[in-house]
Chains A and B, each alone.
Chain A
Amino acid sequence: MSVGKKDISCPPEAPGTPLKDSDIAEKKVTYVEDHPDIRYAWTAGQAISRFLNELKKGKLIATKCNKCRRILFPPRMFCELCYKPIDDWVYVKDTGTVQTFSISYIDPDAKPLEKPVIVAVIAVDGASKNMAFMHVLGEVEPEKVYIGMKVKAVWKPEEEREGSVTDIKYWKPIEG
C-alpha cells in the first residue's frame, strides 16, 4: 500500500504466507505434540451439592440472606456481600427473563456450528438481581429472540437427569 493513497482499508493488512494444514502434517514445521492426561473431580460442596440434587427432581433451589434480603442463585453457604452464613433455602421458579443473549455460530475449535447456539443469561423468577442462570435457548428461531423475552426451562425426562446443569435441555419461550 503506497503512501498517500486515500482508500486505505482499516485496519491495513499485510498478507503473509499462511501455514497450511499439510505443512503441519508433513512436519515442515518443527514441533512437539503432547496430550496431557490431566483430570479432576471437583467436590461440589454443601450448597452446590444440594442444588445439583434438586435438579434431579426438576427444581431450582437458592439460598437467602436475611441481612441484604437477597435470594442467592445458584445457592452458596455464605452471602458474599454481607460476609455471613446464609439463613435459609428457598426454591426459585424454572421460568425467567432473557437478560442478554448471543447467537453463536462458531465452536470452541473455531469451526462453524451446524446450527447456531443461542446462549442466554436468564434472570430466574424468584432470584435477586444479577443472580441469573447462563444457559441455552431452544424451540425458537434466532431472529425471534429478544432481551426481555419470557422463557421456561425444558427438562430432560426424570430418568435421564444426573444432577448437572444439563438436566435442563434448554429454555423455551413462554407463549403469549
Chain B
Amino acid sequence: MRVAVVGVGYSGFNANTPDLNWKEITLEAAARAYDDAGINPRKDVDSIVTCAEDIWEGFAIFDEFVPDQLGGVLKPTCTVCADFLFGIATAYMQIKSELADIAVVEAHSKASDILTFGETIKFAMDPIWLREIGSAHPYYFAALEMSQYINECCITEEQIAEVVVKNKNNALKNSSAPYGSKVTVEDVLNSPMVFDPMRKIEIAPRADGAIVFVLANEDVAKDLTDTPIWVKGVGWWSETSNYDTMSFNAVYAYKAAKMAYKLAGITNPAKEVDIAEVDDRFAFKEFQHLEALQLSKRFETGTLMREGYFAKDGELPVNLSGGSLGIGNLLEATGGQKALEVVLQLRGLAGRRQVEAETGVAQAWRYIPTASGAVAVFGV
C-alpha cells in the first residue's frame, strides 16, 4: 500500500505577520490543504501530526495546542519535536501500518514573535560545555562548520556567492518568497562579512508561514485525486550533539538520504532525481547537502554550480522555490516549504518556476547547533 500526498496548503511566506497569530496562519494553510484534498477534516481525517519545538513557540507542551486550528478536536493528534519532514515520516508510518487512512502533517513558523533569536538558539547548546563560551551570536556555529568544510573541499567565496545569486534570483519567480532579489556575484562579494568567512547575505533571514499536507493511503488517494504525488521514501538521521564530535560534513543528510533512497528504490540519485529542494539556511549548506544527497560529487559541486547545472534550466534544478535564502528561515517548517515546492513542481502547479520533473527530493536540517535532519523523496 503506497502513501500519497493528496492535498497541500500554505500561508505566507512573510518576513513578518503582525495581523495574524500562529493559530490563524495555521488555519489558513490547513483550510487550503483540506480544500485542495477535497476532504472535511472533521469527518475524514484519522490522525494529525504537528512538528513544533516549544522554544520557538514560546510555550511548553505544544502538543496541547495542536487540535483546534487543524480541525483535530477529539481526534488522535501528536507533536513531533522536529522539522516538517520528520512529520511526513511519522504520517507515512501511521498510514503504512494502517493506523490511519488519512493523516495530516503541519508545521509553522512565527519566527517574528521571537525577540531574542540568538539567545533562543543558544538555549539548544549544552549549558555547561558550550553556552558560556564567548558572547558572539551563535550564527558563528555555522561559520565554524563552513570554515572547515570549504577548506577541506576547496570551495571559493565566488562559488558560495553563486548559491546566493541562484536562490535569490529563483525567488523572484515565487510570489511567496519575500527575500528574492536580482543580486549578482559581485554584489555578494562586496557585502559585509559578519562571521568570517561567512557574509550576512549568506544567512537566511527569518520568515513566518505555515504548511499543511494531507497524506492518504493508495485506495483513498485514488478516490480523491487523479494526480496523487507518492511519498516514495523517507529518512532521518542524527549524528551527535556536540560540535566537537560532529562530522561537519552533513553525514546526517547522507544517512537520511540513503534511508529514503532505499525505500524509493533509487540507486543512482544524481541520475534519477529530477529536482531537489535542500536546506540552504546558510549558503554553504547547499553545497554540503547536495553532496550528502549524492546529487553531486565532492570537489565538483562548485564547478557545477558555476556552470548552471543546478539552475532552473540546468540538469538538476535545486531550490527552484528560492530556497531558504529567498523565502526565509521557517524554523521547523523549513522542510515543509521544501516538500511543498517539490509537490507543486511534480503536479505542474509551480507557475513561472515550473520545470519538467517526475522525481523530487526535499531535505531539511534541524538548524544550528545540530547535526540532524530528514529527507523525503516524492514522485508522480
Which A residues are closer than 8 A to B by beta carbons?
A: 32, 34, 36-48, 76-78, 80-83
Contacts of A41 in B (CB 8 A): 113, 115
Q: Which 8 A-B pairs have the closest CB atoms?
A: A45-B21, A80-B68, A40-B58, A39-B115, A83-B71, A32-B128, A45-B24, A43-B21
Partner of A77, one of B24, B41, B116, B131: B24
Rounded to whole Å, the gap between the CB of B127 and the closest CB of chain A is 5
* In the complex with contacts A36-B123, A83-B42, A43-B69 CB distance below 8 A: no
A80–B17 touching, CB < 8 Å:
no
A43–B42 touching, CB < 8 Å:
no
Partner of A40, one of B69, B114, B123: B114
Rounded to whole Å, the gap between the CB of B112 and the closest CB of chain A is 7
A43: nearest residue on chain B (CB-CB)?
Answer: B21
* Bound form: Cα–Cα A77–B25 in Å: 11
18 contacts between A and B (CB under 8 A): A34-B127, A34-B132, A38-B116, A38-B120, A39-B114, A40-B114, A43-B112, A45-B21, A45-B24, A46-B20, A46-B24, A76-B68, A77-B24, A78-B27, A80-B67, A80-B68, A81-B73, A82-B42
* Bound form: Cα–Cα A51–B92 in Å: 40
Besides A39-B116, A43-B22, 16 new A-B residue pairs in contact (Cβ under 8 A), listed by A number: A32-B132, A34-B132, A36-B122, A37-B116, A38-B116, A39-B114, A39-B119, A41-B115, A42-B21, A42-B113, A43-B18, A43-B112, A45-B23, A46-B21, A83-B40, A83-B41
B19 on the interface (CB 8 Å rule)? yes
Partner of B58, one of A36, A42, A45: A42
B20–A43 touching, CB < 8 Å:
yes
The contact size tier of chain B is 20 to 34
B41–A48 touching, CB < 8 Å:
no
A46–B122 touching, CB < 8 Å:
no
Partner of A45, one of B20, B71, B73, B131: B20
Contacts of B112 in A (CB 8 A): 43
Contacts of B42 in A (CB 8 A): 81-83
B21: nearest residue on chain A (CB-CB)?
Answer: A45
Which B residues are closer than 8 A to A by beta carbons?
A: 17-24, 27, 40-42, 55, 58, 67-69, 71, 73, 110, 112-116, 119-120, 122-123, 127-128, 131-132
B74: nearest residue on chain A (CB-CB)?
Answer: A81
A44–B120 touching, CB < 8 Å:
no
Partner of B113, one of A40, A47, A78, A83: A40
Contacts of B119 in A (CB 8 A): 36-39
* Bound form: Cα–Cα A81–B23 in Å: 15
* Bound form: Cα–Cα A142–B11 in Å: 48
Contacts of A80 in B (CB 8 A): 67-69, 71, 73
A38–B123 touching, CB < 8 Å:
yes
Contacts of A77 in B (CB 8 A): 24, 27
B21–A44 touching, CB < 8 Å:
yes
Contacts of A45 in B (CB 8 A): 19-21, 23-24
Contacts of B113 in A (CB 8 A): 40-43
* Bound form: Cα–Cα A134–B110 in Å: 26
* Bound form: Cα–Cα A46–B116 in Å: 24
Rounded to whole Å, the gap between the CB of B70 and the closest CB of chain A is 9
B18: nearest residue on chain A (CB-CB)?
Answer: A43
* Bound form: Cα–Cα A81–B42 in Å: 8
A34: nearest residue on chain B (CB-CB)?
Answer: B127
* Bound form: Cα–Cα A39–B68 in Å: 26
* In the complex with contacts A36-B123, A38-B55, A83-B42, A43-B67 CB distance below 8 A: no
